[in-house]
């Protein structure tokens, strides 16, 4: 099959297939773990039993009728594309968004790519002297994201399939309450859905990162922590009490001047994280927390949220 034929069979734009082919080129792929080992690996990656069952159902066995030639091509070249950027820490789209209602092979193709790269990235971590506990805490974000995607009625995955390439390239590390992404001069902070964002937990995570990166990446020199998030929107101060965890997190940062982010709608991102839904009407969303009430009231008043970036010295 040529690339246009592959694109037509996948139901995606030919430009997306050409991009995968160009970035993967003739670089090596990586094998999936043995099928018999997969359940234990999925458990270690915090994948829920219902998601694990789907993944096992769609496993790319040789000769499986679920895996057409174009799907096998995309899986192989996606693995090669991501593996080629091992050690990278910027946003990476691994391949086109697929029609996921066509079965488990289509729904979880990028999960299989992630699983194929687990051995690659764990070796990278070992080479950098990283504790296996940090390795597996980091990689277990797969299970968290699959669970969130299920809660979102499969609305969340197009973002997640790119987000998770950070983990399997060694670009991001889960240290305590926060995830820390390598960068040029700043460590970017991310906030997983994992309990209260208490000041003590945040401080402990920052202290861990201050020791972690000089130890394991001594050639990289960071001067600041940075974050880009709707959580840094000063408009939240209109709704939340001064002693709320979000406000206290926000107070750590000096904000950059506001610029409209290209290709990102802050209102959509707020709904994604505050409600795990992108399509539920505002008047049907839950109002169980102060944050949820703030989000709804703000949008119902015809106002919009902002995605803000800020930083503070390391």
Strands 224-229 and 172-175: what pairing?
A: unpaired
Polymer length of the chain: 314
Residue 159 has what pLDDT?
85
User: For the residues of 179-227, what is the DSSP string, one character each?
Assistant: EEE--SSEEEEE--SSS---HHHHHHHHHHHHHHHHHH-TT----EEEE
Please report which confidence band the pLDDT of residue 262 belongs to, taking 50, 70 and 90 as the band edges. Answer: confident
Q: Using one digit for the tens of pLDDT, what is the confidence trace for 4-53? A: 999 999 999 999 999 999 999 999 999 999 999 999 999 999 999 999 99
- Percent of the chain scored above 90 by pLDDT? 90
Answer for the pair 67, 60: CB distance below 8 angstroms, yes or no.
yes
The answer to whether residue 172 scores a pLDDT higher than 80 is: yes
Least Cα distance to 221 among 179, 176, 182, 273 occurs for 182
CB-based burial label for 110 (10 Å; 0-12, 13-18, 19+): buried
Show the tokens assigned to 165.
């390439």
Contact 180, 187 (CB under 8 A): yes
Torsion of CA 40, 44, 49, 51, to 10 degrees: -110
The model's pLDDT over 77-101, given as tens digits with 9 standing for 90+, comes to: 999 999 999 999 999 999 999 998 8
Tokens of 161: 């399939």
pTM here?
A: 0.94
CA nearest neighbour of 213 among 181, 243, 250, 245: 181
pLDDT at 304 over 80: yes
């Amino acid at each position: 099959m040529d690339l246009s034929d592959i694109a037509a069979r996948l139901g995606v734009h030919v430009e997306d297939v050409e991009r995968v082919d160009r970035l993967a080129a003739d670089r090596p792929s990586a094998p999936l773990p043995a099928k018999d080992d997969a359940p234990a690996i999925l458990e270690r990656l915090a994948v829920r039993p219902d998601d694990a069952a789907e993944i096992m159902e769609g496993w790319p066995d040789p000769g499986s009728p679920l895996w057409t030639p174009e799907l096998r091509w995309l899986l192989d070249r996606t693995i090669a594309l991501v593996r080629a950027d091992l050690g990278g820490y910027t946003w990476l789209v691994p391949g086109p968004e697929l029609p996921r209602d066509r079965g488990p092979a289509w729904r979880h193709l990028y999960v299989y790519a992630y699983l194929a790269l687990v051995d690659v990235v764990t070796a990278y971590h070992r080479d950098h002297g990283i504790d296996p506990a940090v390795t597996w805490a980091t990689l277990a974000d797969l299970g968290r994201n699959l669970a969130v995607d299920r809660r979102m009625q499969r609305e969340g995955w197009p973002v997640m399939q790119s987000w998770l390439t950070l983990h399997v390239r060694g670009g991001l590390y889960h240290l305590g309450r926060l995830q820390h992404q390598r960068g040029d001069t700043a460590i970017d902070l991310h906030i997983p859905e994992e309990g209260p964002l208490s000041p003590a937990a945040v401080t402990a995570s920052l202290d861990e990162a201050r020791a972690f990166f000089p130890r394991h990446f001594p050639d990289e020199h960071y001067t600041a922590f940075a974050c880009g998030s709707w959580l840094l929107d000063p408009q939240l101060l209109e709704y939340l009490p001064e002693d709320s965890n979000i406000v206290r997190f926000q107070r750590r940062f000096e904000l950059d001047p506001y610029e409209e982010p290209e290709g990102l709608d802050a209102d959509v991102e707020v709904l994604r994280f505050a409600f795990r839904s992108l399509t539920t009407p505002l008047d049907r969303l839950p109002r169980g927390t102060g944050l949820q009430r703030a989000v709804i009231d703000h949008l119902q008043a015809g106002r919009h949220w902002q995605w803000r970036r800020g930083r503070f010295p390391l």
